[in-house]
Amino acid sequence: MGSEGLSMIPSPKQYGVTRPISTAGPVDVDLQRTVELEKFLVDAGLYESEEEAAKREEVLGRIKEIVKDWVKQLTRLRGYTDQMVEDANAVIFTFGSYRLGVHGPGADIDTLCVGPSYVNREEDFFFILHGILAEIEEVTELQPVPDAHVPVMKLKFDGVSIDLLYASVSLLVVPEPTVRSLNGCRVADQILKLVPNVEHFRTTLRCLKLWAKRRGVYSNVTGFLGGVNWALLVARVCQLYPNAVPSMLVSRFFRVYTQWRWPNPVMLCATEKDKLGFSVWDPRKNPRDRTHHMPIITPAYPCMNSSYNVSESTLRVMMEQFQFGNKICEEIELHRGRWSALFEPYLFFESYKNYLQVDVVAADPDDLRAWKGWVESRLRQLTLMIERDTCGKLQCHPHPHEYVDTSKQCAHCAFFMGLQRKQGEVVQEGQQFDIRGTVDEFRHSVNMYMFWKPGMEIYVCHIRRRQIPSYVLPDGYKRTRPPRLISEQHTEKSSPENGEVCRSGSGERCLKRKKDGLQAKGESPEKRQLISPDRQDSVSPEIVSHSFALGYVGTKASSDNGERQVGMAEMDVVSFINSKNVETGGSTRRARQQVEGGEEAGTDLVKSDEERSSAGNTSVVTSLGSEIGSYDDVGLESVAGSRDGSPRSVAGSNNQGSSQVDSCDGDLENGRDNGCGIIQDRLLDELEPSLALGE
């Protein structure tokens, strides 16, 4: 065929801002894996029944009637004519997982109410409509959140969870909250238009959402990714592999994002120019956009970064989990693994040596629902504060789940954060992190809650892994730690201090742990109980701590045989736990915490108040002292620098992944045209050689 004939062949349609990585379709084994994957999703209960679907439709119909009557009532109160009252209306739109068609049993319905311009959000929606809903018998767990980034009213209607937003139209100037409220519906529609195959997209997204929840990285509020973020990531992979089936797309998802050079943005289409005066994501013009760690850009104008909540610490955790998923998918493609291995729950409470426990207490369940929602929304700030005050050397892993201690008589729940030293940092002997001031600042910001009521309290304390409360564990007790794989076991190590042998491959504790136990026994009650006298009956004795140490794994190549040696330096993170009532503006509020009791050990660990005040805002304290601990105490951290927390995962499990994020400021400044097409072309050129494997 001549060149003229070739030129007449239509080129395949391009989805997204770059050419696809591969247009290859599935082979028989890919189709078989897809059948197995879909069967797994069905068995996992990800699809709702016809009865549940019908109930959702019925609830949406009731909501539409309620908001329509509400608008007519307001129209009459505003003095409009009878004809205008009859014509007044409000419309309900859905968005999120329900609109995308990937919702499962028990999932909430994201809804947007659009009303006339004379019905406002601040008073009419959050007060008048709130009062109407509160009087309806089927409505429970009604919770307004007017100060959220996207103001929302949460409720359950006849057992169906509803997130209700409001936007008014026919305005000369549309406010930013209204734009953000409207964007949800438009983004969902755009996603479905921009993917090559909607059904393949939906199956892949269901799979990845289940995976993210099992691995503890599904939560926008705590700094991970929410539903729209995962939808955008999956949609981009669908664009890069337009003819792939779900089993291929899941594998390619992990392959792409383990190699993605953040903060290069993920975009489904070119960004539109700033034509209506709204701020559009553009790091060339907006300095704040340059600080985003994992930009995932929405496809509808005005284009925004949907993942602005991601921090360095949460990006590190997600990259670790992407590495885990990639390893499992590689094993599945080699016929050495099964889909069930991909969805093994992340063993958060076996993955770190030290944790922060945040206890939230209120007078009754209704107060707790509002109070814990506020506290959870601020946990991301605690992560950012710790990163800031320790110059990123102390990393946090917020766990996106809440736990309830049923033994407490008061309304209670708890959140947990894993703590570890940043991998690859040079260890300074005896280095400590004093984050008491950081936690004080966090508590102060939380206590500024607009709807605070007496009885709403928050307590923050440090716990070691062995002190994890039993109510957070699946069976109420700690699991016996399984033996290490042979490849992970190490030779016996003798402590230079006592000559006793500690086997890192066993579940036994070495002498350092025994010493910790002896020290704990020798401490006075005053040192162990850091609770102010007027609060002693409102917090359990286990919410106490004085100081703790974080294990650090360093690797060093042996010059003789290339073997790696593991060392651990202890660093004390000074305790900061206590609370005190102070009078502020006539109301009782919680503010700074005091450490009560004996402080004889603290003089060697903590700077004096004068020293700290002269040192400015820094919370990093250094002092001498280190000791060698067992590899087992580190918390499932691998010599090779990888960890996933699951002893059953592939290749020795423990996928740490890469925590390095390459800077692309130069690319952002010089390489992006309109929709960052140049950047993504350059990135895909680097990805393509390895990504094209296994087409």
List active site positions. Answer: 97, 108, 110, 163, 209, 218
Question: Which residue, among 387, 399, 308, has the nearest Cα to 349 in the 3D structure?
Answer: 399
> Alpha-carbon distance 17 to 331, whole Å?
31
Angle, helices 246-259 vs 198-214, to 10°: value is: 60
What backbone torsions phi and psi does residue 352 show, to the nearest 5 degrees? -130, 160
- Burial status of residue 120 (CB atoms within 10 A of its CB: 0-12, 13-18, 19 or more): middle
Structure token pair of residue 16: 């997204």
Among residues 438, 468, 442, 432, the alpha carbon closest in space to that of 574 is found at: 432
- State how far the alpha carbon of 366 is from the alpha carbons of 71, 90, 345, in Å: 28, 29, 31
Rg (CA), the chain: 27
Tokens (6 digits) for 64? 């539409």
- Kindly report the backbone phi and psi dihedral angles of residue 439, in degrees, each rounded to the nearest multiple of 5, phi listed first: -70, -35
Measured distance CA(286)–CA(311) in Å, rounded: 18
CA dihedral 123, 124, 128, 130 (to 10 degrees): -90
What is the spatial distance between Cα 586 and Cα 242, in angstroms, rounded to a whole number? 63
Neighbours of 7 (CB within 10 A): 7
> Residue 140 has which token pair?
């429970």
Other Cβ atoms within 10 Å of 426 Cβ, number = 7
